[in-house]
Amino acid sequence: MDIEKYRKMFLSEAAEHLQNMAKQLVAVEADPEDGEGINSLFREAHSIKGMAATMGFDATTRLAHHLEDRLAEFRGKGQISSEMIDRLLAGVDLLEGLLEDIAQGEQERDVDLFIHGEQLALIELEPLDSAEEDDACCDLASNRMLIRLLLDESVVAPGPRLLVLLNRVAEFGTVLETTPSEENLLQGEISRTLLVQLETEIPQQEILKRLECYRELSKIEFPAAVLEEETARNKPGRVSATSTVRVDTDLLDRFINLTGELITNRYQLQSAAGEKDWTELNEGLGQLARLVKSLHHQVLQVRMMPLESVTGRLPRTVRDLCRSSGKEVRLEVLGASLEIDRSILEALTDPLTHMIRNAIDHGIAKQGTVQIKAWRERDQILIQVADDGRGIDPEMVRQRALDSNLISPGQAQTMRDFETYQLLCLPGFTTKEQVTETSGRGVGMDVVKSVVEKLGGVLLIDSNLGKGTRVTMKLPLSVAIIRVLLVLCDGSLLGIPITRILQTVEVEPGEVQTSGKQLAISLHGELIPLLSLRKIMQRPKGPGKTMLSLVITEVFGRKVGLVVDRLQGQQEVFVQSLPSPFDQLRGTGGGAILGDGRIMFLFDLQSKLEGRRAKGA
């Protein structure tokens, strides 16, 4: 019996049940008398209890049984109070912690304090003695010190507890840095140790005295050095509900049939090659191409998962943000059933959380709606996060960027609004005067942009002042095998994803017009600016041509025509990430080896232009 196999199955299914519970608890909080919702919660807890008991995980079984009993009481009453929703959510958090213990092969943490009472474990608050004070990490010249906050293993919901302590410590001065970051804690990262670098005029003993009321919550230390490795080693990771994929048996049958056909095809090709029957060999190669294409399609189907597997946690995120900010925000999710490649889904968790937080913090004033919408266009997946709040003032963004020396006065005058909104994605850029628990537009948006571009997608930001903001991610269906247009530039072969291309055209040089200092062509009644790939790649000017080859694409939401040496046709390629440090090169999204042995690099025009702008080019 393969115990490890069943353990992984348990972790995957239990994580799915917990995600459903968290989502359903938020829904029941909005409608406390939702009888079917309470019944659903009871069934989820019952399922976890049964699975944990079968696997022999005692603490998980007892806690799930405890939650099941409480939910049975609420089923009898026909409603759940808001206070008990908090309690049940804390139970879900503790169950997630137990799953992390099981995933890491560690002993399950104690659940008796949660089950048998509301009181937290008593934890000593240890003041430093004189010897410790001499070694403490406190820079008297700069008034900086390091504080370590530790929670006992019995404390439930450690993330929120650490955030409470962090807010209290922030009252003593300026928090310079935390490990883990406040951002990660807000996203749900579970840790029992928090290192805080604080700039303050208040002595250590005074800080200890003011934190006396938290004696039952934490232990406070002033260590001599930042023990990042220790923190990372003790920090448990989140259990991923997407570590396994459920496959329909019909799909497995199709794989078996395809495998059989491929075996038959192999013998057909071997026989034709041995007899030098070129007609039979060509027919066999055609059959092989069809089978490989079908296999690729079926493999993609296996990797597909609904967007709901990522958005299921967001109602809980919105609920917690609303409670901390005092705002009333309604979350709408449209297209949650849309299936997306698992590797893309796994990368979308943080970007979606960042955008939701930004929408609530910056977009919504007091109350409003945040909408997540997903749909498919050709070979692209589009996911949009929109709010009906204040919107973004482009003039204010330009002025803030100018004050921060991110752009020049000349750039500020000529920059269009759609280009201005991209400034929000610069690392550290924010439109907020003061830091809050949630980030300003731009703090976190650089993470969103980086993730989207690594996936081979494009991030677009649009806003109407006073009407709201829309952030759209355009993503490929798959990040492994994609169709590209091959183009030549001074003898080098580059690939542009077909999903980025609107059309290709060839025009005569006489059709090129001049618009100010910009060369352009008129296409379907629209004036489209031209960019030279040779100039962008800093290659020498090419020889004159009777026809210009153009690739019409979008940059910063605007159509442009990219002038290339020659169009080499389309091809499906297996894209591989570039090794460090080449993965840091702007404009390069990976590479592939073609069937004839040539190496091709993916070209990302928008990323390349942003790199030139950052250097002042």
- What pLDDT sits at residue 368? 93
Phi and psi at residue 427, in whole multiples of 5°? -55, 125
Residue 431, pLDDT score = 64
Domain 308-476 indexed as CATH 3.30.565.10: yes
The CATH classification number of 130-234 equals: 3.30.70.1110
Give the integer Cα–Cα distance in Å for 170 and 183. Answer: 15
Encoding tokens for residue 453? 């571009």
pTM higher than 0.75: no
The residue ranges of the chain whose pLDDT is under 70 are 1-2, 116-143, 152-157, 188, 212-246, 427-428, 430-444, 557, 611-617
Q: Does domain 481-614 have CATH number 3.30.200.20?
A: no
Strands (E), 424-565: 458-464, 468-476, 481-489, 492-497, 501-507, 513-515, 518-523, 526-532, 548-555, 558-564
Say how far apart CA 366 and CA 351 lie, in whole Å: 23
In contact, 10 and 43? CB cutoff 8 Å: no
> What does the buried/exposed string (b/e) look like for 352-371 if buried means 16 or more CB atoms within 10 Å of the residue's CB?
bbbbbbbbbbbbbeeebbbb
* Domain ranges within the chain, ordered by starting residue: 3-116, 130-234, 250-306, 308-476, 481-614
Read off the pLDDT of residues 358-392 as tens digits, 9 standing for 90 and up: 899 888 989 999 999 999 987 789 999 999 999 99
Determine the pLDDT at residue 615.
53
Report pLDDT for 478: 74
Q: Return the residue matching tokens 């025509």.
A: 561
CA atoms within 13 A of residue 363's CA, in its CB half-sphere: 31
The helix (H) or strand (E) run that includes residue 608 is helix 605-614
pLDDT of residue 245: 63
Please name the helix (run of DSSP H) or strand (run of DSSP E) that holds residue 230, with its range, or none: helix 228-234
Predicted local distance difference test score (pLDDT) of residue 234: 38
Residue 611: its pLDDT value, please?
62
Structural domain 3-116, CATH architecture:
Up-down Bundle (1.20)
pLDDT in the model for residue 330? 92
Q: Report the pLDDT value the prediction gives residue 98, as an integer from 0 to 100.
A: 92
Looking at residue 229, what is its pLDDT?
A: 34
Confidence (pLDDT) at 223: 56
